[in-house]
Amino acid sequence: MKALALSGLLGLGIAFISASGAATPPVPLTLVINGSGWVKVTDKARVECKKACKQTLLLKAGSKVAVIAKPTLAEPGVSWKLAPWTGACSGVGKCEVTMTSPSKVIVTFIAPGEQANPIPLRHSWDVREGWALTVNSVALNADAQVVASNPSGATLAQVPAGAQDVLISILAGYKGGGSGGVELGLVGFIETVGAHKTIYDTNTNPCPGSFWPSPMLGATKDEQQVFSGQSVTGNICYEIAANDASTLQMFVYDGENDSQKVWFALS
Task: Give domain status of residue 223, yes or no.
Answer: yes
**Residues 6+ positions from 122 with CB-CB distance below 8 Å:** 134, 135, 136
Asked if 77 and 134 sit in the same domain, the reply is no
128, 133, 176, 225 from 256: Cα distances, Å: 9, 18, 16, 21
Asked if 135 and 95 sit in the same domain, the reply is no
Tell me: pLDDT of 76 over 90: yes
DSSP 119: B
Asked if 102 and 141 sit in the same domain, the reply is no
Tell me: pLDDT of 85 over 90: yes
Contact by Cβ (8 Å): 130, 179: no
- Helix intervals (H) in 44-157: 143-149
Provide the pLDDT for residue 13. Answer: 46
Query: Model pTM?
Result: 0.84
- Each residue's pLDDT tens digit, 181-218: 787 678 878 999 999 999 998 888 988 776 677 778 86
Cis peptide before 120 (omega within 30 of 0): no
Task: Give domain status of residue 120, yes or no.
Answer: no
- Residue 147: give its domain's CATH number: 2.60.40.4170
Tell me: pLDDT of 21 over 90: no
Instruction: Identify the band that residue 6 occupies on the pLDDT scale cut at 50, 70 and 90.
Output: very low
Number of domains in the chain: 2
Provide the pLDDT for residue 203. Answer: 84
141, 157, 180, 206, 247 from 165: Cα distances, Å: 5, 10, 28, 9, 14
Q: What percent of the chain has pLDDT over 90?
A: 59
Task: Give domain status of residue 116, yes or no.
Answer: no
Provide the pLDDT for residue 257. Answer: 67
34, 137, 144, 192, 266 from 262: Cα distances, Å: 19, 18, 30, 11, 13
Helix H or strand E encompassing 12: helix 2-12
Task: Give domain status of residue 118, yes or no.
Answer: no
For residue 92, the tally of other CB atoms under 10 A from its CB is: 10
- Looking at 75, 110, 145, the residue that finishes a domain is 110
Tell me: pLDDT of 261 over 50: yes
Which range, 22-26, 115-119, 185-189, 221-225, has the best average confidence (pLDDT)?
A: 115-119
Asked if 83 and 137 sit in the same domain, the reply is no
- Looking at 86, 110, 134, the residue that finishes a domain is 110
Tell me which residue range forms the domain holding 76.
Answer: 2-110
**Residues 6+ positions from 117 with CB-CB distance below 8 Å:** 80, 81, 110, 111, 263
Asked if 132 and 216 sit in the same domain, the reply is yes
57-84 average pLDDT score: 97
End-to-end CA distance of the chain: 66
